[in-house]
Structure 1
Amino acid sequence: MVFKDRTAAGQLLAAQLAAYANRKDVIVLALPRGGVPVAFEVARKINAPLDVFLVRKLGVPGHEELAMGAIASGGVQVLNEAVVQMLGLSQKVIEQVATQEQQELNRRERLYRDDRPFPVLHERTVILVDDGLATGTTMRAAVVALRQQQPARLLVAVPVSSPEAYQEMQKLVDEIVCPQTPDPFYSVGLWYQDFPQVSDEEVCDLLKRATNNNQHSTVSN
């Protein structure tokens, strides 16, 4: 199955998360930027607040699409030891890339959050959403970071995942919701008809709309 776009994928994912609808303890967290349009549909359909959680992939210099690790909000760093050892990457190289990505993470944090405090996740049910999992490295960093917040339950929800990343996530979270795990997988974008880059402006717009939706819903209730 190939999704029309991230919006359609989010709507399908929301249907599989119907058990979490209209619950006061639930919050949806999106991994920017590609996860935000997917998560927007999920949050809208299940009537839950939407926020973002910042994670940055640490790409191998010269082969940036290959993840040697990831960093997340809260100072968490996760390394893909197999890649690091295979390529003989030094600590200095890792630190140089991590410093660059930390600057971008901080920039996005300021832009997307606009001084809003990060939501309290303690004892809440957190649904962590992205547009797909290839290696799962960035999602793993997010999970490690969010575990420090001590949520009552942590879910990962993605429209599509490689079988390997799916199996790893099963061990790390309380539940993973994923409609399909094709094999061979190749890449996330292959499973979407329309898979454009998501802009900062689109992220900010969707977060604003989600806040308005949630406020309206709270008033209605």
Structure 2
Amino acid sequence: MFRDRIDAAKQLAIKLKNKKIENGIVLAVPRGGVPVGYEIAKSLHLPLEVFLSKKIGHPNNPEFAIGSVTLSGIIVNENTMNADQDYIIRQSKKIQGELKERFKIFMDGKRPTDLKRKTVILTDDGVATGSTLISAVEAIRKSSPKKIIIAVPLSPPETASKLKQIVDEFICLATPFDFLGVAQYYYNFSQVEDKEVIQILKQASNRQENVIQ
């Protein structure tokens, strides 16, 4: 059990400090991943950004994901259930516009960092199916980073096995066989609001500017 996201993040940071992180950046999945990412970035003296993505729902069943959209592009699942290509393109453009606006708000107008030759630490407050992180890794790979590390507090064993296969390093503090959902392993798992995300990212930006100076 973790006391809260900060407790989990500090434990992850200890594991990551043993790694040789060169030219690194921390990418956090909002909203719950941002407090985790902040503590990791602070401990390792690295910049912090959010990684945004959103699923494309099937036209006849919006809950069924036929792909996902990130700031850098579109990832379409092999099984699109015969969804119309025009629909996929329209939805992708619409979602990408929403993500760009959201990134602008979260990152105070800054542009996403070029990840080429970067060591990317991708984090969240926990993993269930892993679909978000799998899509994120696929998108990040297209930017030609030097290395991708996933660092998360917990994951079901089967998801952990999948994630290990797609990244250079996978760091996970707990893989409980009786996984019941991420929230069950935190004493305090209060919801993180957009306002808090913006505040944390602002603190991270100010801290990084001081480091550079």
TM bucket normalised to smaller: 0.7 to 0.9
State the alpha-carbon separation in 2 of the partners of residues 34 and 199 from structure 1.
9
Quick one: structure 1 residues 5 and 78, their matched pair in 2 at CA, closer, same or farther if it must change by over 3 Å? farther
**Aligned match for 2:170, one of 176, 181, 186:** 176
Listed one character per residue, the Cα deviations across residues 6-56 of structure 1 (whole Å, up to 9, x for unaligned) are 1111111111101347x5511111111111000000001111111111122
On the 8 A contact 1:71/1:138 being kept in 2, the answer is no
Identity of aligned residues (%): 38
Distance 1:164 1:99, change over 3 A: farther
Pair 1:40-2:38 in alignment: yes
* Counterpart Cα distance in 1 of 2:43 and 2:210: 14
Q: Could you say what secondary structure the match of 1:16 adopts?
A: helix
Instruction: Structure 1: give runs of 5+ residues left out of the alignment.
Output: none
Q: Which residue does 2:137 correspond to in 1?
A: 143
Matches of 1:133 and 1:196, distance apart in 2: 17
Q: More displaced, 193-202 or 174-183? A: 193-202
Structure 2 length normalisation: TM-score? 0.85
The 5-angstrom pairing of residues 42-61 of structure 1 reads: 42-58=40-56
CA offsets, 1:45-75, max 9 Å, x none? 11111111112245688885x7665332212
Match of 1:187 in 2: 181
1:182–1:126 CA distance, 2 compared to 1 (3 A) = same
Determine if the alignment matches structure 1 residue 162 to structure 2 residue 156: yes
Q: Using the TM superposition, give the Cα deviation of residue 188 of structure 1 relative to its aligned residue in structure 2, in angstroms.
A: 1.3
Instruction: Verify the 8 A CA contact 1:57 1:137 in the aligned structure 2.
Output: no
Cα offset, 1:209, TM superposition: 0.5
The equivalent of 2:83 in structure 1 is 91
Change (3 A) 1:80 1:56: farther
Deviation of 1:98 (Å): 5.8
Q: Compute the TM-score of the two structures, normalised by the length of structure 1.
A: 0.83
Aligned residue pairs: how many?
A: 210
Equivalent in the alignment of 2:77 = 79
Query: C-alpha offsets along residues 171-190 of structure 1, whole Å, 9 cap, x if unaligned?
Result: 11101110111112121111
Contact 1:58 1:68 in 2 (8 A): yes
Q: 1:26 aligns with which of 2, 24, 27?
A: 24
Alpha-carbon separation, structure 1, partners of 2:178 and 2:62: 22
Is the aligned partner of 1:113 residue 2:107? yes
- Structure 1 position 205, deviation (Å): 0.7
Alignment gaps of 5+ in structure 2? none
Quickly say closer, same or farther: Cα 1:71–1:124, change in 2 above 3 A: same
Alignment pair present for 1:207 and 2:163: no
**Which structure has more helix as a fraction of its residues?**
1
Q: CA deviation at 1:103?
A: 5.2
The alignment yields a C-alpha RMSD, in angstroms, of 2.6
- Counterparts of 1:195 and 1:213, CA distance in 2: 26
